[in-house]
Chain A
Amino acid sequence: MAVTTPSTAEDRSRPGRPRRHRSAGPLFVAPFLVLFLLLFLAPLGYAAYLSLFQTRLIGGTVFVGLDNYAQALGDSQFLHGVGRVALFFVVQVPVMLLLALLFALALDSGLLRLSRVIRLGIFVPYAVPSVVAALMWGYLYGPDFGPFAQLSRNLDLPAPHFLSEGWMLGSLANIVTWEFVGYNMIILYAALRTVPHELYEAAAMDGAGAWRIAWSIKLPALRPALLLTLLFSVIGSFQLFNEPNLLMKIAPDVISSSYTANLYAYSLAFTGQQVNYAATVSFLLGLVIVIASYGVLLTANRRRTP
C-alpha cells in the first residue's frame, strides 16, 4: 500500500503492533466510494440544481427558484400518475407479498411433494426480463391471437378486454405479480430456513398445531425479511415504467405518456425536451418514494415496540 494516512496519537500509543493495515481500510472502500459520489450523489445534486431553472424561448435558461415544484404540485398529469402508482402499490403489493408468504410457508412445511420443482418453477419468472414478460403477457391479453380471446370466441363468450381502460391497471399488476412473487418467496423461504428447528419441536411439545406454529413462531421470525420485501416493493411500484411503456405500444389509447409518474418524467425529458421540468418530476418522485419507505419503516418499528 503506497499511500499512508497520517498516523494518529492513538496509533503511536500502542507500540508493537503492525500499524500498516490501519491505513488500508479507506483504500478498500475508496473505489466504491468514488464511483458512488460520481454516479449517485452527483446526478442527484445535478437534478436538484436543474430543477431550479427553466428554459424559455425568450431569455434562455433562467433561475426560477421553486417555480417548477409549484408547477408540478399543481400538475394534474403528474398527480394522476402518482395517484395511479399509489393505487397500484396499495392493491398489488399486498396480494404479491401474501402469495409469496403462503408459498414460502407451504414449501417450508415439508408437506409438499415435488417441492424442488415447484420452488424453481415459481422463481423462474424472475429471470425473465421485464421487457419479455410485458411482451408475452401483452400478446396473451391481446384480442387477436391471445389464447384467452381465442377460448372465449370458441365458447361464444364475449372476449375479455384485458387491455381496456378499466382492466389495464389490473393487467399490469398481474404482470408485476407474475414477475416478482417467486423472488419474494425465495427471500422469505430462505429466512424461514434459518429459524432454529428446536423452536418447532418445543412448540409441538406444548401442543401447538401447524397453524399455531406458523402464526406464533414463523411469522415473527419473518419480520425482517417481510420488511425488506415490502421496502423493495415500495421502491419498485412507484417507479413503474417498463411494463406500461411496452403495453403503451399495444394499447396507445389507454396508456398515455403520463400514465405513471416515471413514464411522465421520461416523456418530459425525451419527447418534450423539458429537461428542467423532467428533473423536477424525477426529484419529486424520488422524494415520494423516500417518504413512503420511511413510512413503512416507522410503522414497522412502532409495532415492534408497542
Chain B
Amino acid sequence: MTTTIPAPPVTRTAKKPARLTHRRASPARRSTPLTIAMLAALAYFLLPLFWLLIASTKSTQDLFNSFGLWFSDAPQLLTNTKETFTQDDGVFVRWLLNTVMYAGVSAVGAALLAAAAGYGFAKFRFRGDRAAFNLILGAVMVPTTALAIPTYLLFAQAGLANTPWAIILPSLVNPFGLYLMRVYAADSVPDSILEAARIDGAGEARIFFRIALRLMAPGVVTVLLFTLVATWNNYFLPLIMLNDPDLYPITVGLASWAAQAQNGGAGASSDMLALVVTGSLISIVPLVVAFLMLQRYWQSGLATGGVKQ
C-alpha cells in the first residue's frame, strides 16, 4: 500500500516548457517494433479497466454467465447505476460526498500548510530551523502503519474517532509535501521581490498570500492534486477510524459491499456484486478526469523530488 505517497512538484522543467517538445524525433526515426511493444504493455494496464467498464453493464447473473471481456445480451449500465445510487437509501451518494469533502479539505489544508512551512524554511533563518526541518524530513520514512493504530487510540480517547476529523486531521500533515514546497519556494520566489515588497511596507502575511503563494502556484497545485489522490484512495485510516457507515468514504463503503456480495453469494443479496462493480467504476471516474484535465501541472511537476537530492 504505497498509496499515501504524495508527489512532487517541479521547478526546472516548469521553467523551460520548450524542452518538452524540442527533443521530439522526426517521424522517420520512429520505431514501429518499440511502439508495438509499448502498446502491448499498455494493453496490460488498460485490461482491468476495460473489464470493469464491460462488467458494469451486466446484471449479477450475466457476470457469471457471459464472457468477461465482452458485453452480454442485455446491457444495463443505467439500471446498475440507478441501483448503485439508490441501494440502502442512497448511501453510495453519501459515501461519494464524504470522499469529496475529506479529500477536498485535506488537500487544500495540506497544500497550504506545506506551502507556508516550506516558504518559512526556505526564506527565513531562525533558531532551530535546521533541526526542525531535519526532524520533519526524517518523518518521511515513518510508515503510516506505525502511526495509524496509536493515532486511533489517541483519537478514541479525545472523542475524535468516528468523526470526520479523524480522517482530515492526519491527512493535513504531509512531510514530503513540505520538503517539495521548500525546494519549490527556494527556486521560484526571488529574494529581491520580497525585499522590494518589504521596503514598500507590505506585511509578511500579505507578502506570502499576495506574492509568494502565486509564484509557488504550480508547486502548490501539484501537492494539492497528489494529496487529493492519497486521501481519496485512502483505505487503512478510515477503516480503522470509522464505524458509522454514514461517515464512510467510498473505499471503505465499496469494501463493505464487496464483503456482503461475497457472503451473500448468489442468494439473498445477489445484486450486490453488480453494485460493487458499478460503484467501483463510478468511484474512479472523478480522479481520472482530474488527472487528464490537470496533466499540464503534474507532468511538468513530478521531477523536483527526484532531481534535487
Q: Which residues of A contact B (CB under 8 A)?
A: 1, 5, 18, 20-29, 31-33, 35-36, 39-40, 42-44, 46-47, 50, 99, 103, 106, 109-114, 117-118, 120-133, 135-137, 139-140, 144-147, 150, 176, 178-183, 186-191, 193-194, 197, 222, 224-225, 227-229, 231-233, 235-243, 245-246, 249-250, 262, 265-266, 269-270, 275, 278-279, 282-283, 285-286, 289-290, 293
CB distance from A244 to the nearest CB of B (A): 9
Asked if A246 meets B30 with Cβ closer than 8 Å, knowing A1-B205, A194-B12, A239-B143, the reply is no
Contacts of A246 in B (CB 8 A): 255, 258
A-B contacts besides A110-B29, A181-B45, A285-B146, 5 pairs, CB < 8 Å? A29-B120, A32-B136, A114-B35, A229-B306, A245-B239
Beta-carbon contacts under 8 Å, B193-219 to A: 194, 198-199, 203-205, 208
Selected contact of B254 from candidates A135, A188, A275, CB within 8 Å: A135
Query: CA separation between A289 and B125, bound complex, in Å?
Result: 32
Ordered nearest first, which 6 A-B pairs have the shortest CB separation?
A25-B124, A236-B2, A28-B120, A225-B306, A286-B146, A147-B68
Asked if A27 meets B288 with Cβ closer than 8 Å, knowing A33-B132, A121-B46, A183-B7, the reply is no
Contact between A144 and B64, CB atoms less than 8 A apart: yes
Contact between B25 and A39, CB atoms less than 8 A apart: no
Query: CA separation between A232 and B119, bound complex, in Å?
Result: 25
Selected contact of B235 from candidates A131, A147, A238, CB within 8 Å: A131
Contacts of A194 in B (CB 8 A): 12-13, 303, 307
Selected contact of A36 from candidates B49, B69, B124, B175, CB within 8 Å: B175
Contact between B68 and A187, CB atoms less than 8 A apart: no
B 83-119 binary contact with A (CB < 8 Å = 1; else 0): 0000000000000000000000000000001101101
Contact between A39 and B169, CB atoms less than 8 A apart: yes
Selected contact of B251 from candidates A103, A129, A235, CB within 8 Å: A129
Contact between A290 and B141, CB atoms less than 8 A apart: yes
Closest to A294 in B: B141
Contact between B302 and A186, CB atoms less than 8 A apart: yes
Q: Which residues of B contact A (CB under 8 A)?
A: 1-3, 5, 7-8, 10, 12-13, 19-20, 22-25, 29-32, 34-35, 37-39, 41-42, 44-46, 48-49, 51-52, 55, 63-64, 67-69, 113-114, 116-117, 119-121, 123-126, 129, 132, 136, 139, 141-154, 169-170, 172-173, 175, 178, 194, 198-199, 203-205, 208, 229, 232-233, 235-236, 239-240, 250-252, 254-255, 258-259, 262, 276-277, 280, 283-284, 287-288, 290-292, 295, 298-303, 305-309
CB distance from A295 to the nearest CB of B (A): 12
Closest to B8 in A: A187
Contacts of B204 in A (CB 8 A): 1, 20-21, 24, 27-28
Q: Which of B1, B63, B139, B148 has the most C-beta atoms of chain A within 10 angstroms of its own C-beta? A: B1
CB distance from A278 to the nearest CB of B (A): 6
Closest to B60 in A: A145
Contact between A190 and B132, CB atoms less than 8 A apart: no
CB distance from B214 to the nearest CB of A (A): 16
Query: CA separation between A24 and B299, bound complex, in Å?
Result: 33
Contact between A290 and B302, CB atoms less than 8 A apart: no
Please count the residue pairs between chain A and chain B whose beta carbons lie under 8 angstroms apart in the complex: 343
Contact between B45 and A124, CB atoms less than 8 A apart: yes
Selected contact of B120 from candidates A25, A40, A114, A245, CB within 8 Å: A25
Contact between B19 and A130, CB atoms less than 8 A apart: no
Query: CA separation between A110 and B28, bound complex, in Å?
Result: 11
Asked if A40 meets B142 with Cβ closer than 8 Å, knowing A28-B117, A130-B1, the reply is yes
Contact between B154 and A43, CB atoms less than 8 A apart: yes
Query: CA separation between A180 and B45, bound complex, in Å?
Result: 11
CB distance from A89 to the nearest CB of B (A): 11
Contact between A238 and B143, CB atoms less than 8 A apart: yes
Contacts of A26 in B (CB 8 A): 120, 124, 126
Contact between A136 and B254, CB atoms less than 8 A apart: no
Asked if A110 meets B116 with Cβ closer than 8 Å, knowing A1-B203, A228-B305, the reply is no
Query: CA separation between A249 and B263, bound complex, in Å?
Result: 9
Q: What are 11 pairs between A and B in contact, CB < 8 Å?
A: A24-B120, A29-B120, A43-B151, A50-B153, A111-B31, A127-B290, A131-B233, A137-B48, A144-B64, A225-B306, A246-B255
CB distance from B198 to the nearest CB of A (A): 5
Contact between B45 and A121, CB atoms less than 8 A apart: yes
Closest to A125 in B: B45
Contact between A21 and B153, CB atoms less than 8 A apart: no
Closest to A29 in B: B120
Contacts of B67 in A (CB 8 A): 147, 150
Query: CA separation between A262 and B168, bound complex, in Å?
Result: 22
Contacts of A133 in B (CB 8 A): 48
Contacts of B276 in A (CB 8 A): 135
Selected contact of A32 from candidates B44, B69, B116, CB within 8 Å: B116
Selected contact of B2 from candidates A5, A46, A122, A232, CB within 8 Å: A232
Contacts of B194 in A (CB 8 A): 21
Contact between A18 and B117, CB atoms less than 8 A apart: no
Selected contact of A136 from candidates B38, B51, B205, CB within 8 Å: B51
CB distance from A252 to the nearest CB of B (A): 9
Contact between A44 and B229, CB atoms less than 8 A apart: no
Closest to B64 in A: A145
Contact between A129 and B232, CB atoms less than 8 A apart: yes
Closest to B194 in A: A21
Selected contact of B117 from candidates A5, A33, A117, A122, CB within 8 Å: A33
